[in-house]
Amino acid sequence: MFFCGISGEPPQDPVVSTKSGHVYERRLILKYIIDNGTDPLTGEKLEESDLLSVKANPKAAPPRPPTATSIPALLHTLQNEWDALVLETFALKQQYNNTRQELSYALYAQDAASRVVARLIRERDAAREALTNVQASMGIPSVPTNGADVEMTEEAIPVALPKHVVDQIDESQQSLSATRKKRKAPAGYTTPAEVKTFAAKPAIPSLHSASPAGINSIAISRVNSSQFLTGGNDKIVQLYDRSTDKVLASLKGHAKRVNHVAFREREGEPTLLLSAGADKIAKIWSHDSASGEYLPKATIKTHKSDLTGLVVHPTSTLIAYSSLDKTYSLHELSNFSQVYHSAPADEPISSLAIHPDGALLALGTPSSKIQISDVRSGTLAATISPGGTPFSVHTLSFSENGYHLLAPDSLSSVAIWDLRKMTTAHSIPLGDAFRISKVIYDYSANFFGVAGNEGVRLFAHKTWEELVRFEEASDVTDIVFGNQGRELWGTSGREVRIWGVPE
């Protein structure tokens, strides 16, 4: 007789995993695969195609399908609740075992650390005694220490970027600014007229865990436009391939929700997956060409509060983070070391964006002010304030030509700021009930998108005409333009929705 690896009961519809050999009740393992994508006992990646039905004899008669009567419907409801309870109990058992292992390791590490500290104290005392004997034999008076340790000063926080980093930024700025002002949209790039024809495409459902549900951020690969990265409330960073409809990697390491994700793709170097969370830390994974997997490379713990921004610098050698602890920081991606950490500002930083030339960065605040700072020196270059009732600026976007900054100027309206004059070029009201979650310019700077609780709206730059709106998706948390601007990707709940030019 077989027993299910999750419920511990004889399965009515037994299936066996071709990877682990364990037997499960079909309905239970399918629910677990949808939520987690792994084998519940071994943790290996598992898909529905890896399950084989067991031809058990004598074959039990299947239950009759529920009729429209109230009692069968009640029994069906109780069965679903029992399934959910069994899955939750199994997850709690796994979490309990993991916690016990972590506690054992912590106790062992604590004991080892105590032994090391005790040995160092003995060696220090022996060295002090030897030094005292040498000083006495040479007639040199010893300086009393009263048993206190010698005070060691901490390394000072960099007040400006190192010279080699500044040189990289200057070189990148000169190269980019010389070309982008004269640059035209690439051949075949989507026009505002084509944006008006955008229509919904098949959505990608059931991403991340159902509890807690929700995707907060999305990024699309420039090298492989079918691959995208998402960060969710379930503390997971997930890499998905749209062309194969498969999860390529589920990366763990955060203790709270993941607020931001990004790719770092540079020719000749491994692809990096980047994330920033509400647990004060940032994670970096690197693609291993030998195994084809993404391996953890660094955990950045610079900040003391939630991370609110993550942007890869145009040089592709630096990454910037902002935090509610009123500071932002810059780190090199070659060795993941910190090269700059700003002094605490007067108020928390709620969003972050970097100018396409790489010399300026914009910082949003909870008081509706936007601060423009010089990346190289950290000095404040300008402050933008829309006035009116204060609100928190959670999203910012520079235009690719570098002349404009897109940002909310109230809870339900968006403004386009002319950085040459530091004035508002135009303000677009979205309706009193609209709450903005994300604004973004496309690569050509000919149109831009606004996402919020009432869906997504796309507008033309300069004419400010509303090109198209999509209201079928509510509470859209993030949007990003796809390859050649031919698609718009958005996150809503556990879904990734896609709109684009009809095929």
Does 61 score more than 60 pLDDT?
A: no
Looking at residue 172, its pLDDT comes to 86
What is the three-class DSSP state of 204? strand
Does 446 score more than 80 pLDDT?
A: yes
Q: Residue 224: which pLDDT band, with cuts at 50, 70 and 90? A: very high
Does 186 score more than 90 pLDDT?
A: no
Mean pLDDT value across residues 104-128: 89
Looking at residue 75, its pLDDT comes to 83
Mean pLDDT value across residues 137-144: 53
Would strands 246-251 and 258-264 be described as parallel, antiparallel, or unpaired?
unpaired
Does 158 score more than 60 pLDDT?
A: no
Does 333 score more than 50 pLDDT?
A: yes
Sheet of 360-364: strands edge to edge?
351-354, 360-364, 370-374, 380-384
Looking at residue 152, its pLDDT comes to 34
Residue type, 38: T
pLDDT digits (tens, 9 = 90+) for 479-489: 999 999 999 99
Mean pLDDT value across residues 433-450: 94
Q: Residue 60: which pLDDT band, with cuts at 50, 70 and 90? A: low
The larger pLDDT score, comparing residue 426 to residue 133, is at: 426
* Contact (Cβ atoms closer than 8 angstroms) between residue 432 and residue 447: no
Q: Residue 157: which pLDDT band, with cuts at 50, 70 and 90? A: very low
Does 63 score more than 80 pLDDT?
A: no
Mean pLDDT value across residues 199-204: 93
- From its phi and psi, is residue 114 left (phi > 0), alpha (psi between -120 and 50) or beta? alpha
Task: Report the chain's terminal Cα–Cα distance, integer Å.
Answer: 53
Does 240 score more than 60 pLDDT?
A: yes
Tokens of 105: 């390791």
Which alpha helices (H) appear in 48-162, and where do they start and end? 70-138
Q: How far lies 83's CA from each of 17, 33, 43, 244, in Å?
A: 19, 14, 20, 30
Does 438 score more than 90 pLDDT?
A: yes
Q: Residue 68: which pLDDT band, with cuts at 50, 70 and 90? A: very low
Backbone angles phi and psi of 480, in degrees to 5? -155, 145
Highest average pLDDT, of 45-49, 348-352, 376-380, comes from 348-352
Q: Tell me the CB-side half-sphere exposure of residue 97, using CA atoms within 13 A.
A: 6
Quick one: which H or E segment has residue 338?
strand 338-341
Does 184 score more than 80 pLDDT?
A: no
Least confident of 18-32, 56-70, 190-204: 56-70
Least confident of 96-105, 160-169, 192-201, 297-306: 160-169
Does 281 score more than 80 pLDDT?
A: yes
* Contact (Cβ atoms closer than 8 angstroms) between residue 358 and residue 314: yes
Tracing tokens 């005694």 back to the chain, one arrives at 129
Does 21 score more than 60 pLDDT?
A: yes
pTM above 0.95?
no
Encode 238-264 in three state secondary structure.
Answer: EEEECCCCEEEEEECCCCCCEEEEEEE
Quick one: which H or E segment has residue 294?
strand 294-300
Does 135 score more than 80 pLDDT?
A: no
Rounded distance, CA 402 to CA 419, Å? 8
pLDDT digits (tens, 9 = 90+) for 262-279: 999 998 899 999 999 999
CA nearest neighbour of 317 among 330, 340, 334, 302: 334
Looking at residue 136, its pLDDT comes to 64
Tokens of 256: 């709270």
Q: Residue 56: which pLDDT band, with cuts at 50, 70 and 90? A: low
Does 24 score more than 50 pLDDT?
A: yes
Cis-peptide, bond into residue 58, ω within 30° of zero: yes
Hey, which residues does 328 pair with through a beta bridge? 322
Rounded distance, CA 330 to CA 166, Å? 12
Mean pLDDT for the chain?
A: 88
Q: Pseudo-torsion of CA 352, 356, 360, 364, nearest 10°?
A: -20
From the number of C-beta atoms within 10 Å of its C-beta (0-12, 13-18, 19+), residue 53 rates as exposed
